[in-house]
Amino acid sequence: MRPHVMQLIFRLAPGGAERLALTTLDKAGSMIRGSVCGLFGHTGPLVAELEQRRIPWFGLDVIGRSRLPGIMRLAALLRRQRVDVLHVQAAYLLQWAAPAAWLTGTRLVYTEHSSHTFETQPRMARLVRWMAPFLGGMSCVTERLRRYMTDRMGIAPHRVRLIRNGVDVERFSPHGPVAPLPDGWAHAAAPASADHGDHGDGAGDAASTGPAAPARRPDGAASGDSGDRVVIGNVARFCEAKDHPGLLRAFHDVQSTHPAARLLLVGDGETRPQAEALRDALALGGTVHFAGTRQDVPALLRAMTVFVLSSRHEGMPVAVLEAMACGVPVVTTDVGGIGELVRDGETARIVPPGDPQALADALRWMLDHPAERMAMRDRALAMVRARCGHDVMVRGYLDLYGVADASSFALPRTGYATVSPASASVSASRISEPAPRTSESTSRTSESTPRTSGPTAPSPDRRNRP
């Protein structure tokens, strides 16, 4: 009988860890039954994708509650849904997950994505070090992080597995639809100081329809584009770690020498209002577009000339790997495990974090050297396909869950469209439109009633969970 694996995440919102959790459940569906639980909040923008993939979801909304009621509610959910493995995607969540798992006899596994939490919250490092011997499995996403956890935190090396992040190279590939650009972007560039009234996802952003989705040219631009029009793009949650202010300042610098450049920011989050205010303060106006949370990320990536990551700290950024898999040249800050896969000048341009001038210089270099940029893109694409496919990552997590015959797992070559046909229909969806939203009243799954029928019985070895 397939074990029931529940992914425990912070919120039902997009992010790197959340993307990996969904992909693992989706791709391993032949060997496990999966569900997702957001600990903070009842619902979120990730719900639409969960329902497209037919993955049951739950929102506990423990914010503002004392920890004990949250632990008891999570334990009740684990019992009710007969969860065999609870996979926690951050150390902070262990404060609720560990007691709930131990109360219910659920196998508890934990994946860490970055050392930043341990560096800024030493008590989290102490918690993980104390809990390590009692976990059913523990993994991290980079060798650098594994060494940090063993050498600096004192965790026994045999307890920490390295499972690198992977990319769905069928969904994220150079071949496929290209999202149409906002009005005016495919023509001569507007002056950098002109403000076209673009303030995010309001009605003015989607007031008119755009051209049909163009095909991608060998030089990385879309066919039919103005020869000097380039799109610098970023896909990330708006939060302090992603350093959108630094990116906007770097783009402002690039605009002084490349006025035809445009900046496309995909994502949402708590710091978006500040980023929009800075855009206006820098007089970038219609040259910067906030696309919001989207489900057609591969099509958006294919519309970009260069992808840029401006983060101050990361683990192994999934967005960088997805951009490379889509054939988009990358400029990235030197954060987390970037150096383990990416080489400056070979597969990407790498700059120090928190340095807008260095970021601007690297972006300018990319725009001024199209031949080198495309050669870099080709090497990065080959690297991602060879080393970062999802099959290796999913096999690693199946082994972490204790699934029998995990080593025999192989991805079916069916393509993403078989999971979500709507995701491929991007030619009618403009970049300026917000992500489709489903009303909370009809989409929310309570912790007591799953959207789809739950598992029928626990796995035979459930009573032996640590």
Q: In the numeric block, which tokens belong to residue 361?
A: 């210089």
Question: Nearest-CA neighbor of 107 among 193, 16, 6?
Answer: 6
DSSP notation for 95-120: HHHHHHHHHHT-EEEEEE--SHHHHH
Task: State what percent of residues in the chain have pLDDT above 70.
Answer: 77
What do you get for the CA distance between the two ends of the chain, in Å?
20
Q: Lowest mean pLDDT: which of 111-115, 142-146, 183-187, 232-236? A: 183-187
CA–CA gap between residue 202 and residue 197 (Å, rounded): 10
- Per-residue pLDDT reduced to its tens digit, 10-63: 999 888 889 889 989 999 999 999 999 999 988 988 999 899 999 999 999 987
| Vertex 58: Cα angle to 55 and 63 (nearest 5) | 145
Q: In the 8-state DSSP scheme, what is residue 446?
A: P
φ, ψ (nearest 5 deg) of residue 386: -80, -35
Sequence-ordered list of residues with C-beta below 8 angstroms from that of 12, at least 6 positions apart, any chain = 36, 38, 41, 43, 44, 45, 46, 47, 50, 57, 59
- Position 110 pLDDT exceeds 50: yes
Tokens read off for 371: 């031949």
For residue 126, count other CB atoms closer than 10 A to its CB: 13
Q: Average per-residue pLDDT in the chain?
A: 82
Helix (H) / strand (E) element for 66: namely none
More confident residue, 217 or 197: 217
Token pair, residue 458, equals 């626990």
d(CA 455, CA 1): 10
- Signed CA dihedral, 113, 322, 309, 39: sign only: negative
- Amino acid residing at 335: V
pLDDT bracket for residue 185 (50, 70, 90): confident
The predicted model gives 382-409 an average pLDDT of: 88
Measuring CA to CA, how many Å separate 203 from each of 263, 268, 296, 434?
Answer: 20, 17, 20, 10
User: 216 vs 181, which has greater pLDDT?
Assistant: 181
442: pLDDT confidence band, cut at 50, 70 and 90? Answer: very low
Spell out the alpha helix ranges (H) of 8-133. Answer: 16-27, 47-52, 67-80, 94-104, 116-120, 122-131
Residues 6+ apart with CB under 8 A from 312: 240, 241, 242, 243, 246, 333, 335, 353, 354
Q: What is the pLDDT of residues 57-107, one digit of tens each?
A: 999 998 776 899 999 999 999 999 999 999 999 999 999 999 999 999 999
pLDDT recorded at residue 183: 80
Distance, CA of 380 to CA of 382 (rounded, Å): 5
d(CA 320, CA 234): 9
Mean pLDDT, residues 180-186 taken together = 79
Token pair of 298 as six digits: 């591969």
Tell the residue number behind the tokens 């999913």, with chain if given: 394
Cβ neighbours of residue 294 closer than 8 Å, sequence gap 6 or more: 266, 300, 434, 435
Distance CA 148, CA 154 (A): 9
The predicted model gives 441-447 an average pLDDT of 40
Delineate the domains of the chain, giving CATH numbers in brackets: 4-166+389-411+439-464 (3.40.50.2000), 203-387 (3.40.50.2000)
Output the pTM of the full model.
0.78
Report yes or no: 367 and 254 within 8 Å, Cβ to Cβ: yes
Which alpha helices (H) appear in 285-336, and where do they start and end?
Answer: 297-302, 318-325
